[in-house]
């Protein structure tokens, strides 16, 4: 599998509890090899014409390109937000042993 098939999928959640719940489900279903959940941050954005400032946590899911559509679908289905951010970021370079582990931990697409 070439390095460019590895995706880091970025999303945010309103709190750590919901992030952990969804991350565990995605890893258990082998749609992601791993999920990193960050500490609290503040997001400022406009939603339905109103300026918002909310606390969130960021989540970075490690997966492979062939699983992006299914991961995105399952993430959105379980997510508490009406319109969650789901952005797949290509990994340009991946260390060989980590790549092998990631392949073993995810279902082949």
Q: What does the pLDDT average to over 76-93? A: 95
Classified as helix, coil or strand, 17 is helix
Using the predicted structure, report yes or no on whether residue 1 has a pLDDT greater than 80.
Answer: no
What strand order describes the sheet that includes 87-90?
34-47, 50-64, 6-13, 87-90
Residue 18 has a CB neighbour count (10 Å cut-off) of 16
Tokens of 107: 């279902």
Q: What is the pLDDT of residue 57?
A: 98
Mean pLDDT of 10-35: 97
Give the pLDDT band (50/70/90) at residue 107.
confident
- Say yes or no: domain 3-105 is CATH 3.30.70.120: yes
Q: Is residue 69's pLDDT more than 60?
A: yes
């Amino acid at each position: 599998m070439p390095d460019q098939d590895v995706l880091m999928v970025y999303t945010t959640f309103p709190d750590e509890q919901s992030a952990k719940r969804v991350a565990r489900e995605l890893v258990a279903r082998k749609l992601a090899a791993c999920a990193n959940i960050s500490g609290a941050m503040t997001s400022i954005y406009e939603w339905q014409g109103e300026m918002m400032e909310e606390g969130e946590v960021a989540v970075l899911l490690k997966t492979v390109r062939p699983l992006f559509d299914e991961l995105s679908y399952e993430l959105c289905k379980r997510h508490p937000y009406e319109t969650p951010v789901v952005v797949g970021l290509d990994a340009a370079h991946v260390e060989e042993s980590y790549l092998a582990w990631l392949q073993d931990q995810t279902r082949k697409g």
